């Protein structure tokens, strides 16, 4: 039986290699090692490269989830200034062996608390592969709403190559309640 305790901390540059390994195992695992959130049947190649992650860690926060000393999850929270103070929430990943234990929900809630409390965020934005209905439903149950906005898959961003060139992304948003 897996422990249910989870601690969260902000990542440092020293964590980049571990985060990249975790994200790639969660998003694009080897056959037989998949959890429910993988996209191996939709996109090939690595989800994140260590160098890109190191650059990102200098500009944005990545929260890490641990059970004891084991890294079991991560999520990126990137603040954006504009008409409404927004944060892009991305790279939510839970190690396949730890999925279905509620850790994704808890880590997403930690990311939202960080965004609201530390960054003063009013709106959270998520971008998901449009054909991943089960994942979209997960976010809808957490208060996100579909915006109807569609984006092309960002092949040039070096985050993998979709098997279907018409693969699109959909945008979800969540308004922070005034009382937190």
State residue 8's pLDDT score: 95
Q: Is residue 162 part of a domain?
A: yes
Backbone angles phi, psi at 111, to 5 degrees: -65, -40
CATH number of 111's domain: 3.40.630.30
14: number of Cβ within 10 Å: 9
Dihedral of the alpha carbons of 52, 169, 8, 174, in degrees to the nearest 10: 130
State residue 168's pLDDT score: 93
Q: Is residue 95 part of a domain?
A: yes
Confidence band of 29 (pLDDT split at 50, 70, 90): low
Q: Is residue 2 part of a domain?
A: no
pLDDT at 15 over 90: yes
The residue range of the domain holding 67 is 7-175
Q: What is each CA distance from 65 to 4, 28, 85, in whole angstroms?
A: 12, 19, 25
Q: Is residue 146 part of a domain?
A: yes
Q: Is residue 104 part of a domain?
A: yes
Q: Is residue 66 part of a domain?
A: yes
Q: CA 130 to CA 22: how far, in whole Å?
A: 23
Q: Is residue 103 part of a domain?
A: yes
What's the total number of domains in the chain? 1
pTM, full prediction: 0.89
């Amino acid at each position: 039986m897996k422990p249910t305790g989870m601690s969260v901390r902000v990542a440092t540059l020293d964590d980049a290699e571990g985060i990249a390994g975790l994200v790639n195992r969660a998003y694009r695992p080897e056959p037989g090692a998949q959890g429910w959130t993988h996209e191996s049947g939709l996109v090939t190649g690595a989800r994140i490269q260590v160098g890109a992650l190191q650059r990102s860690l200098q500009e944005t926060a990545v929260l890490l989830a641990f059970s004891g000393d084991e890294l079991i999850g991560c999520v990126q929270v990137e603040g954006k200034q504009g008409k409404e103070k927004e944060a892009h929430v991305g790279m939510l990943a839970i190690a396949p062996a730890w999925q279905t234990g509620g850790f994704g929900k808890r880590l997403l809630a930690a990311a939202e608390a960080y965004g609201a409390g530390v960054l003063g965020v009013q709106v959270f934005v998520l971008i998901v592969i449009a054909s991943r209905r089960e994942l979209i439903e997960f976010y809808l149950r957490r208060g996100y709403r579909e915006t109807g906005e569609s984006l092309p898959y960002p092949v040039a961003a070096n985050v993998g190559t979709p098997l279907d060139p018409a693969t699109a992304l959909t945008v979800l948003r969540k308004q922070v309640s005034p009382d937190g």
